[in-house]
Every structure is written in structure tokens, then in C-alpha cells.
Amino acid sequence: MGPAMICVKKHRATYQSLFQKIAAYCPEIKHQLKAYSTDSESPLRQALELEFPFGQGFICRTHIVRNLEHKIKSELNLSDKFFRKVVAIEDLFGYKAHEGLVHCKTQQEYDLSKLSVKWNKEEIEQRKRKGDAQAQEPMASKCFLQHKADIVHHHCRCQALHEVGIDDQYFNHNDPESINAPLKKWENRERMTFQSL
């Protein structure tokens, strides 16, 4: 296990101080770190980008899926089927023989126009089946294009993982969060002060 730090406040400067201490102890890491992974927390990603500019940043797929699930099911009020079949599993991460967007090797293969048409059609059909009287503009593909498309392309693609020597299965099993689960259990999922630990 590597360095661990418990942060009460999620500020870039707090994270950056940890990474500066690591780099002071092991200066070569600034140039030799090939990759790192986060849960997509912006201050953490910013600190890593500043302190390890040569490392490729990746984002845990489990967190991407959780964020999309929340958006689709809670905020857009679409079904679990829409989320699982159409969005998260098949189209983004693939399923059985079907490859998802994360398997694209080039920007040209990462074609979001076909995906948008498919999602829009499915969303409209689902809203009709539910008896949604208001014909609203489909939002799932629009939200994905605005908030997640670049993140998935630059921080989740299998090709990018392979280029730095990481097996993409690592990101399918949520190994990056391995220390977080015991800490949550230890904390009883409650925010605690450092002194109470």
C-alpha cells in the first residue's frame, strides 16, 4: 500500500501538500510517474496534474458509472433499463461481444453523433411509454456530451491505459478505491474530526 492521507476538507492545496511531500522524499517520481487514478474529484485531479505533469490521469470507471446513474435515474427520471442497457454498460464500456466507447483507439472512432441519435430515440420512446405528457427535449445525450464525453475519452479509454502499461480490467473492478471502503466502514460513513479517529 502506498501513502494515504485523510482529508477533512477536499481542497486542491491539501492534496497538493501530500504530493509535494512525496516528491520531496522521492524526487524522481515527478518525471517517472506514468499514471495515476482518481474518482474524478476536481481538486484531487488538479493537484495531481500540477505535481505530476508527466503522469497520465485516469478516472475510475465505477465512479463514472455511478455519476451517470445518478444523473439518468434521479435527475432525468429515466429507467434503470435505459441506464444499464443503453448508456452505461453497452455504449460506454461494452458488453460481451459489443465494444463500448472506451475501446475506441482514435478520435475518429469515438463517434458521438450516432450515440446521441440512439440515446435521443430511446429517451423519447421511454417518455412516451411512461405517458409523459410534456414532450421535452431529450437530455441524456446532451448532458453526457457536455459533462462526460471528454472525460471518458481522455481518462477511461483502454488504449490510453495500455500505452502506460495498465490492464483495463484494473478499472473494471474498482481497485483504485480499495483503501476507501475500509475507511468508510471504520468511520461508520460519518464525517469525523481528525481527533476522533
For 80-117, the three-class secondary structure string (H helix, E strand, C coil) is HHHHHHHHHHHHHHCECCECCHHHCCCCCCCCHHHHHH
pLDDT-based confidence at residue 23 (cuts at 50, 70, 90):
very high
- pTM for the model: 0.72
- Tell me how far apart the alpha carbons of residues 107 and 118 are, in angstroms, rounded to a whole number: 19
Query: Which of 10-19, 72-81, 174-183 has the least mean pLDDT?
Result: 174-183
pLDDT at residue 137, as a whole number: 82
- Judge contact between 193 and 8, C-beta under 8 A: yes
- Residue 94 region by backbone torsions, left for phi larger than 0, else alpha for psi between -120 and 50, else beta: left
Q: SS3 for 192?
A: coil
What residues does each domain of the chain span? 8-57, 61-158
DSSP state of 74: I
The C-alpha cell at 6 is 485523510
CA dihedral (107, 111, 113, 115) in degrees, to 10, reads -140
Tell me the mean pLDDT in the region 5-21. Answer: 85
